A = this chain, B = another copy of it.
Amino acid sequence: MAKITAVSPLAPLAFPQLPVIDGVAFATIAAGVRYQGRTDVMLANLDAGSVVAGVFTRSATRAAPVLDCQEKIGTPSDAPAAILVNSGNANAFTGKNGIESVQAITAAVAQTCGVEQSRVFTSSTGVIGEPLAHDRITASLKDLRASLSPDGIADAARAIMTTDTFPKGATATVEILGKPVKIAGIAKGSGMIAPDMATMLVYIFSDAQIEQKALQKLLSDYTDTTFNCITVDSDTSTSDSLLMAATGRSGVDVTGNAAFNNALHDVMLDLAHQVVRDGEGATKFVEINVTGADNDADAKTHAMAIANSPLIKTAIAGEDPNWGRVVMAVGKSGAKADRDRLSIRFGDVQVAKDGWRSPDYSETDAAAHMKGEHIVIGVDLGLGTGTSTVWTCDLTHGYIDINADYRS
C-alpha cells in the first residue's frame, strides 16, 4: 500500500458538522483487518421503521458483499437493520471464501445486534483476491455494539477510508410543514481506483419517512447525475456501493417533496465532488459542460470521452489550454459531432467556434483560466438540445507515484 499521507490540495477546509439522525447509531473499531493503528470497521445500527435503498457497481466481477446487498435490497422491509463496513480488504475475487465471509459476518452481526440476517448489509474495501480475515471482524462485534452512539458518523467516515487523504461528509436539512428533515452522508474513494483496488463507498442517512421503492427510485435517478458523472481515471471498481437508510423518525412523509429531493441530490453531488477532489494525485477540479448535442446520452458520451482522455488530463495538469485535444476527444467519442459546428470554451474564454479557432481567441486569457484550481471546459456541438455535466481531475506525477508503487 503506497503511503501517500499528504492531504489533497483540493480537500475541503474541514469535515462538515453532520447532524444526529434519529434512529441511527454508529460505532467504529480498530479490528486489524489489514491496517495497523487506525479504525477499520464501522457499524451503523438502524432502528425499526427504517427502509434501505442501494445502488451498486455494474462490474461483471463484482464482490461477494455487493451481490449479497443487491439481493437483500430487492426485498423491501422496515425491520431493524445494520450496516457493517470494513476497510483494508475488498473480499473481491475470493471465490467461495468470499461468500463464506459474508455469511459469517452477517450472521454474527444479526445475532449481536438482534436483527434478522436478511437485514444486515455489508461492504468491504481494500486489497482484492485475498481472503478476508472475517474472524477479526466478528471478534470485534460485541465491543462495537457496546459503543454505538448517535454521534459517531464522523468517526465512521474515517474508518472506511483506504487511500483517501481526507474523510468525506455532506449534510442538508429541509423544513417540510414546519418540521426539519435531516440528511447526513459519508463517502470514501479516491476515484474509482487505488493501489489495492479500494473503491467508492457511500452511506447516506435521513430521518425522512418514505417508502423503500420511492427511496430506491430517487437514489437510482440521482446517481445518474452525481456519482455516475464523475471519473478519476475510467477504471470501475468491483465494489462500488451506495446505501441509503431512511428511519422515518422525523414523522414527515417526504414522498414527492421537491425540497427533500433537491436536498438529497445536493448531498449526493457534494459527496461525488469530494471523491473527485481526492482523486489520486489530483491538483485541479475539472468540470465539463457539454451542450448542443443531439441528445443527452450523446452529450454524456462526449463529456466522458473528454473527462477520461489522458491527453486532456495531462494538459490540464500542465496548465496548457490545449483545445486541440478537446477536438480529438469529441472526434473519437463515437457520439454524433460535426467538426464545423463545434465550439469550445475554457472558463469564460471562447477558444474555438464553428470548427476553428475563435477569431478573438486569447491564449493568454485561456492560460490564465488554466492556472486556477477549478477548470471549466465547455463544449457546444451545435446540433441539438442534449446536455451533460461531468466532473474529473487532472492526471499528474502523483497519480503515477501512487499507482506504480509495488504493493507491500
Contact = CB atoms under 8 A, between A and B. Distances in A.
A395 B404 CA distance: 9
A93 B324 contact: yes
A267 to B, nearest CB: 26
A340 interface: yes
Interface stretch (A105-113, A141-149, A309-317): A309-317
Interface stretch (A5-13, A41-49, A59-67, A175-183): A59-67
A325 B400 contact: no
Given A356-B97, A406-B319, A324 B399 contact: no
A223 B357 CA distance: 33
A406 B319 CA distance: 7
Instruction: Specify the main secondary structure of chain A where it touches its partner.
Output: loop
Given A238-B331, A310-B234, A400-B400, A405 B318 contact: yes
A83 to B, nearest CB: 24
Given A336-B60, A399-B314, A328 B237 contact: yes
Contacts of A238: 327-328, 331
Copies of this chain, whole number: 2
A403 B327 contact: no
A86 interface: no
B407 A328 contact: no
Contact of A324 (B92, B324, B328, B330): B92
24 contacts: A60-B333, A61-B330, A61-B337, A92-B324, A92-B327, A93-B339, A128-B324, A128-B327, A128-B328, A193-B311, A235-B309, A235-B311, A236-B331, A238-B328, A310-B395, A310-B399, A314-B399, A314-B403, A314-B404, A315-B403, A315-B404, A320-B404, A322-B407, A395-B400
Interface of A: 57, 59-62, 90, 92-95, 97, 127-130, 193, 196-197, 233-238, 308-311, 314-315, 317-320, 322-325, 327-333, 336-340, 342, 352, 354-357, 395-397, 399-400, 403-407
